[in-house]
Structure 1
Amino acid sequence: MMKQLRCALLTGAAILMATGVTALAQDNYRFALVPKAMNNPFFDLARDGCKAAEAEMEGVECYYIGPSEHTEQEQIQIIQDLITQGVDGIAVSPSNAPAAARALKAANDAGIPTMTWDADLLEQDKEVRATYVGTRNYDIGVNLAKLAQEMKPEGGSICLQSGGAAAANHNERLQGIRDTLSGEESAQPPGERLAGANGWTEVDGCPLFTDDDSAKAIQQMSDILNRYQDLDAFISTGAFTQWSDNAYRQAIQPYKEKLDSGELVVVVADTLPMQMQQLKDGLSHGQVGQRPYDMGYKSMQILKDLAEDKSVEDPIYTGLDVCTQENADTCLAQSQ
């Protein structure tokens, strides 16, 4: 009888231990943060925020993985691989919004919570992800346009430079620029091409699409400035033109007198360290910055809530910093 009781107690203890181990295992999460490209300093800041959350949150791993360079197909393949690996959640900055929506739906079908950051899905696909965390991208365009308007109140010739043609976030920024400069609200991104409204006209050959390639972006800018010697404004919806600091400086230096006089206005999205120094050195007139560190940090918190079946807000905006040469020392908000 004692032997049977001992066996029963041992069996019960084993069950409790196994249950405890299972519960512990369920509290350890591996969440993937997928950027558009890993050679982009903007996304490096998101990685840093993600890793900071990992250090602060017990049982959470930030798995930062993405294409080495901006490649839409590679990003989709990475998402598919993450599904196969069975990660506990996926946060992606979509390079190609429709393709990303299909990949995230497959993740949902596999029981994996998903969200977007930095860039979102198209309106008709947003139900696929639980939420979006990042910038209200239309507002980036609005603020870039306002900076140009302050220096060129009567308008002028302009070239717009964007990321990928299928990137929803950059198309929303283009729409914000065009709507603000024209004074007319367009139906959908990327907005209506500027053709004289409020004095603004987009030159032939623009908008430019960089595919987040810095060398390509700088060459595009150089070609346009050389082709249109009387161009009034150049606006870029991302940091790609400026994050290769030396190359940007060499490309823009021949136009320094025009920048100083205001004959040529250059405003660019993002406020990476090299961009802020360029602004202070008079090599741009304004920067509209996002908060990528916060995007990475908050993505881990959100995915943990989703993994634990908690509700989350949608969308979650992280704010903007609008910087000029006059306020460059004080315009940046403190991140997490």
Structure 2
Amino acid sequence: MLKYMLSTALVAVGLAASAGGAGAADKYTFALVPKNTNNPFYDQALAGCKKAEKELAGQVECLYVGPGEHGGGDEQAQMIQDLITKGVDGIAVSPANAPAMAAALQGAAGAKIPVLTWDSDLLPEAAGERLAYVGTHNYEIGVNLAKIVMKIKPKGGKICIQSGGAAAANHNERMQGIRDTLAGKASTTPPGDRLAGQNGWTEVDGCPLYTDDDFPKSVQQMEDILGKYSDLDAFVPTGGFPEFLPDAYRNVASKYKDRIASGSLALVVADTLPVQIDLLKEGLASGNVGQRPFEMGYKAMYFLKDIKDGKPAPKDPTYTGLDVCTPENVATCIGGGS
């Protein structure tokens, strides 16, 4: 409770300061709301947001606010309600819990606050609560993770998928992409159909794993599952969770470096932050499929300004591109732009 009170107090202080500046200079205050603020992935989005703020030279303020840690999404939803009540000029949010966020956003339209989602979207039935999604084609992340796995293990095998959260729409879409691609058959809804022998692939008992974006937990899960199943053929996190603690990750992955090198174990991880590329270069992963969070934060500010200036909303969805990295192309795999 104290943590929540401190968080909302910080939102109120930030908004009060922003409101003063807005009145003096007609500055728009746009909130960039990540799932949590202790994640290096979202640091990249903040950097993009701040670059747009600098380029727009006093026309917008990037107000970066979110839970300190990723929980069930309730704290983030409450923060969104507070932002609406305080009257920010626009909101770009990465929903931690899609249903909870849809409910929290219901007052935005009435308050004439444009809303974009980024990184993670609302569920299709709630898409009307935002104008557009700006970010990764999450299903395609799963597809590309699975393609790397299949290249290493063409005959199939035993797999464990590690996800961020059971209610996170983006991770469910990525899991569906993995499962559909490995199975060779499309499923109807995220997170797809559990692999139980399709095309030679079977998910081991106890998986998928859910980290709730708790990085120490994700490393422990990785260590436990690889220890439990010595014949595991593939371990695939749908986010960079364990690699975001590089030293802890090294301690675990180094035990399997020979298996990774030989192709006995396909260890393929989502995201391509610099620390993750270093791990790939060290031979501690089989591949990475990365997003472009800097672009998400950067474009969200420009899109919200356009909307407030009376221009059309961006195309829904607006995808920001992917980077597919393997040991063979690791020196040149990171792109820029969409």
Same fold (TM over 0.5): yes
- 8 Å CA contact 1:293–1:335 kept in 2: the answer is no
- In the other structure, the counterpart of 1:65 is 65
String of CA shifts for 1:142-168, please: whole Å, max 9, x gaps: 000000000000000000000010000
Q: Aligned to 1:242, what secondary structure does the other structure show?
A: helix
Identify which of 311, 314, 317 aligns with 2:316. 314
What is the percentage of aligned positions where both structures have the same residue?
A: 62
Q: Do the aligned residues in 2 keep the contact of 1:179 with 1:185 (CA within 8 Å)?
A: yes
Q: CA deviation at 1:259?
A: 1.2
1:19 is matched with none
Matched with 1:267 is 268
> Which one has the largest radius of gyration?
1
Distance in 2 separating the partners of 1:36 and 1:302? 20
Determine the C-alpha separation between the residues in 2 that align with 1:173 and 1:26.
Answer: 43
1:145 aligns with 2:112: no
Query: CA shift at 1:24, angstroms?
Result: 7.6
1:184 is paired with a residue whose SS is coil
1:317 is displaced (CA, Å) by 0.3
State the 1:308 CA deviation: 2.1
- Aligned-CA RMSD value: 1.3
What pairs with 1:46-125 in structure 2 (closer than 5 Å)? 46-58=45-57, 59-71=59-71, 72-125=73-126
What residue identity is the alignment partner of 1:277? D
Q: Once superposed, which parts of structure 1, at least 4 consecutive aligned residues long, lie more than 4 Å away?
A: 23-26
SS of equivalent residue, structure 2 residue 235: strand
Report the Cα offset of residue 26 of structure 1.
7.7
Match of 1:324 in 2: 326
| Correspondence for 1:195 | 196
Deviations 1:227-286 (A, max 9, x none): 000000001100111110100000111111211211111000000111000000000010
CA distance in 2, matches of 1:309, 1:120: 24
TM-score, structure 2 as length reference = 0.91
Cα distance in 1 between the residues matched to 2:296 and 2:120 = 11
- 2:212 paired residue number: 211
Unaligned runs of 5+ in 1: 1-22
Q: Distance in 2 between matches of 1:244 and 1:24?
A: 43
Q: Is the 8 A contact 2:321 2:337 kept in 1?
A: no
Count of paired positions: 314
1:55-99 CA-to-partner distances (Å, cap 9, x unmatched) read 001311000110011021110111111112210000000000011
Contact 1:159 1:203 (8 Å CA) reproduced: yes
Q: Distance in 2 between matches of 1:318 and 1:170?
A: 17
1:165-314, aligned counterparts within 5 Å? 165-312=166-313, 313-314=315-316
Cα–Cα, structure 1 residues 283 and 133, in superposed 2: closer, same or farther, change >3 Å?
Answer: same
Deviation at residue 109 of structure 1 after TM alignment: 2.0
- TM-score of the superposition, structure 1-length normalised? 0.91
State the alpha-carbon separation in 1 of the partners of residues 106 and 25 from structure 2: 23
What amino acid sits opposite 1:127 in the alignment? G
Larger deviation: 23-32 or 228-237? 23-32
Q: Which runs of 5+ in 2 are unaligned?
A: 1-21
Larger mean CA deviation between 152-161 and 109-118 belongs to 109-118
**Residues 286 and 324 in structure 1, CA contact (< 8 A), matched pair in contact too:** yes
Residue equivalent to 2:43: 44
